[in-house]
Amino acid sequence: MPTQIESEKKFLVKFPKSWSALTEIFDKLINVKRISQTYLKPEGKEPSARVRKTVEGLTGDTDTIYHYNQKEFIEAGVHKEKEHEISKSEYEKSLKKCHTDKVAVEKTRFVFKYNDQIFELDVFKGPLKGLAILEIELKDIKNSVELPPFLKVIKEITKDKSFTNFSLADKKLH
């Protein structure tokens, strides 16, 4: 399984409620993904892995893709990541090994471009409904980011562990 370094900044945002703000996102929309991710029981000293089901597509033509992913913390916003695609049957088999203290995280991801930067706006569903997190992957965590003015940023949460998907999946929160 190939390992790569992932650097990303994350921002808590107020989900746009006006049509004009939504139009700005949809104007430069690249993709929409409906994501369900489930954390698995950790094996030995390994960090907890997750499996993800992603339904991609802007129209009626959609693709469903399944991934196995494991992240290891390096520093705030930087992780060593192992990820690979798996089959639907591998995904379903993995669900039987779900982490008993976690719930599945359900979200819709809007991938859009602003000033030659690719952003991902995650809008959460279910018990986390109303939560919206903006992410951007960077070559270096020290790179500056020009945030889209049509989204109201509440605060940067890159260093706040309570906003990791792993933390958001805690059953205690639900």
What pLDDT, on the 0 to 100 scale, is given for residue 165? 93
The tens digit of pLDDT for each residue in 16-50 reads 777 777 787 878 889 999 999 999 998 888 888 99
Q: What is the pLDDT of residue 15?
A: 82
CA distances, 157 to each of 102, 132, 143, 169 (Å): 21, 12, 16, 17
- Here the tokens at position 164 are 């990791």
pLDDT of residue 174: 66
Residue 146 has pLDDT above 80, yes or no: yes
Mean pLDDT of 145-173: 93
Other C-beta atoms within 10 Å of 14: how many? 12
Measuring CA to CA, which residue among 105, 149, 154, 115 is closest to residue 133?
Answer: 154
Sign of dihedral through CA atoms 106, 28, 14, 119? Answer: positive
Rounded Cα distance between 87 and 48, Å, is 20
Distances (CA, A) of 166 to 41, 47, 95, 119: 12, 11, 16, 21
Q: What is the pLDDT of residues 46-105, one digit of tens each?
A: 888 999 999 998 666 789 999 999 988 888 899 899 999 999 999 999 999 999 999 999
Please state, in angstroms and rounded to a whole number, the distance separating the CA atoms of residues 124 and 48.
21
For 87, other C-beta atoms within 10 Å of its C-beta total 9
Residue 13 pLDDT class (50, 70, 90 cuts): very high
